[in-house]
Structure 1
């Protein structure tokens, strides 16, 4: 039976990770969309996807892969405000909530009506070294400062605005969005935060002092992390994917990004359904 598409959808592009399974599935998606007269292209290279011409007039972006694929896509296209739907070919998939087996049925349901969107706060991280801006990036999940494999501990002083909080001694520290609360922050003992809230979540990683606990703060003031111990090997990691080695005295300033990620919600599944499914709650 043919479905009636909502007239909004004229152009839907697909970003796929590089595996043969994902690429083959992306071709099936493209053919299905084309059968409904929806223009579609498949991209494996994010640099190509980011071209203004390739994003012009795109009503929806499908990401075929796992949460990692969605995170890197979200960082690259956030400034364009394009809604994203993740189709999970990975493992856990908190963000890519649509499974491969149900993808076409869910797409048919989604495309038959106006999109239901979940707006997700992002972070902007700026690395400052010797008073100079070295790196700036927007992330959906988290900004992490942690030790290298052979390092013993890292010491990081943390400030909110110009107010000193404490110096964390341990394996590192996570600054997370509510969306990222089910990622690395959860593994480090942080709470699950409803993803459409707008808060900073500070989670120490294996702190040397057991009274160092997670903090949740409003996003109105920047958080500054300063590497305060010499001869300590530490790294800055963005969304678990892009890493930069840090030096003594480096500062990482984390603010609320001016951009948001717009995730498409599936019609018959709410956030608590996803938590029960992914975390095996009863």
Structure 2
């Protein structure tokens, strides 16, 4: 590990301070540090690079912040499969498993090559309006179709590999990866899925029919959602961070991406320990 990229949650002053410390620590060990240009500006007199160019320039990316910051960086990595080390500067995250106290011992192991990664599948989502493609998104957590604050229930016709599933009448719909199963999917009553499983989950948001329940399908499936509304306020979002408004008749197609995200695993905790800690299992 001779070239490391560094991103941080810019709204967190602690992240900027830690970024300065990490940069000095790495440079003292002969490692070239590539700072996101916005982070470099916040840090002061440092050279920065466009965030989208960094994954191709480095052997590893360190993300200081929370799960949201890591997800935004994962989309920048794209097809390059550059490993990401997520460091949570607040409470423990589902993706940013490394705590600030563990940062330097873990970095020591990583730059020596003593680390393992977990491979997280991603999705490609395409929005089509008639014969025209009007949006394309890369997704780590989830695709969400939901209505605005004062819109009525929306109808969403869903097919899986061209087989008709059902027409959900609901406030919205979530199509989630195993990684995203602990995000909006969990809040909507969907299942927690072990990250290594090869599947996707389709979860309706507040369905009109109480018999509508989340359904798990293969990650090889192609899911199509046709939105049947006319004048409602309905939006498409990817990972809760980017998206676009939808029109009646738009079709959203979701399939497994050829890209995947490599996350450096914590040497001190596994997925189940993260669940127990984050969700306070066993607390009375």
Give runs of aligned pairs for residues 129-140 of structure 1, distance below 5 A.
Answer: 129-140=129-140
Distance 1:55 1:254 in 2: 25
Normalising by structure 2, we get a TM-score of: 0.91
Q: Which moved more, 1:71-80 or 1:184-193?
A: 71-80
Contact 2:229 2:247 in 1 (8 A): no
The C-alpha deviation readout for 1:27-66, integer Å capped at 9, x for no partner, is: 1111111111111122154980212xx4344111001111
The SS at the match of 2:33 is coil
How far residue 113 of structure 1 moved from its aligned partner, in angstroms, is 3.5
Task: Decide which of 2, 5, 10 is 1:10's aligned counterpart.
Answer: 2
Aligned residue in 2 for 1:145: 145
| Number of matched pairs | 272
- Going from structure 1 to structure 2, the CA distance change for 1:26 and 1:137 (only over 3 Å counts) comes to same
Q: Residue 161 of structure 1: CA displacement?
A: 1.6
**2:108 alignment partner in structure 1:** 108
Shift of 1:90: 4.4
Q: Where does 1:184-223 land on structure 2 (aligned, <5 Å)?
A: 184-223=184-223
State the Cα distance separating 1:111 from its structure 2 match. 3.2
Residue number in structure 2 paired with 1:61? 61
Correspondence 1:25 to 2:25: no
Residue 243 of structure 1: how far off its partner (Å):
2.5
**Alpha-carbon separation, structure 2, partners of 1:91 and 1:155:** 38
Given that 1:66 and 1:89 are in contact with CA atoms closer than 8 Å, whether structure 2 keeps it comes out as: yes
2:79 matched residue in structure 1? 79
Match of 2:163 in 1: 163
| 2:92–2:99 Cα contact (<8 Å) kept | no
- Tell me: CA distance 1:219–1:55, structure 2 relative to 1, closer, same or farther (3 Å): closer
SS in 1 for 2:211: coil
Does the CA-based 8 Å contact 1:30-1:41 persist in structure 2? Answer: no
- Partner residue of 1:40? 33
Cα distance in 1 for residues equivalent to 2:139 and 2:221: 17
Unaligned runs of 5+ in 2: 40-48
CA shift at 1:112, angstroms?
3.4
Unaligned runs of 5+ in 1: 1-8
| Cα distance in 2 for residues equivalent to 1:44 and 1:104 | 23
For residues 117 and 140 of structure 2, what CA distance do their matches in structure 1 show? 16
Which residue in the other structure is 2:44 paired with? none
Distance 1:176 1:149 in 2: 22
Q: How does 1:85-100 map to 2 (within 5 A)?
A: 85-91=85-91, 93-100=93-100
